[in-house]
Amino acid sequence: MTRGLLAKNLAPDRIAARWQTTLRFATLALLAGYVVFVGALWLAGAFDVEALGYPGVWLFSLIGASSIVLPIPGLAAVCAAASPAIGLNPALLGVVAASAEAIGELTGYLAGVTGGSFIQKNRHYPRVQQWVIKRGGLLLFVMATFPNPFFDVVGMAAGSVRYPIRRFLLVTYAGKAIKSTWVAYGCYYGISAIQRLVG
């Protein structure tokens, strides 16, 4: 009986499942620690988008997307960096911000995997899970193409139904790239127009 129990615990599927669970918890802990550390620096005024350039935008975008409970405006960094005064390329800003946001959204995804979010107790949450099961890629993509506080809920639902993580990252990145690019161009042309009117 002991041999059978040992064989069951050492089965390849069970080992793989344990490894995936450990990896998910480690990733979530790493992201949470990173968000707290960089968020503290940001609140202390240690980050300056103009001085840090594209890396600064990437960090702000990562923090903004990683924060579930306390939303930090990552798009504000994109908008500020796209202004004519700073002069960063809006198209490149969109790509840079999207890569960070896609990674940052893993916090919501992993919260869904672990089942540790109070949002999952909402009575509407099972309906969102069904939408993810039926049209996961389309739902994630559409929700990522515009500033949307409900994306975290969809990300958690994707994690809870074990939506493929690579597909989650790819679809999220595509949608976020569209969103961040139009925000960057909108801010660039909007700020330019205001400057012409005022100046």
Instruction: Check residue 197 and give its pLDDT.
Output: 86
Instruction: Check residue 14 and give its pLDDT.
Output: 57
pLDDT in tens, the chain (199 residues): 444 543 444 444 555 456 556 655 665 666 566 556 655 655 666 555 556 688 888 888 888 888 765 555 678 888 888 888 888 899 999 999 999 999 989 988 888 887 755 566 667 778 888 888 898 899 999 999 998 888 888 888 898 888 999 999 999 999 999 999 999 999 999 988 888 888 6
Give the residue numbers spanning the domain of 56.
Answer: 2-198
pTM equals 0.73
Residue 66: burial class (beta carbons within 10 Å; 0-12, 13-18, 19+): buried
DSSP string, 96-141: HHHHHHHHHTHHHHHHHHHT--GGGGSTTHHHHHHHHHHHHHHHHH
Instruction: Check residue 184 and give its pLDDT.
Output: 93
Angle between helices 165-198 and 125-144 (to 10 degrees): 50
Instruction: Check residue 41 and give its pLDDT.
Output: 59
Domains: count for the chain: 1
Instruction: Check residue 6 and give its pLDDT.
Output: 39
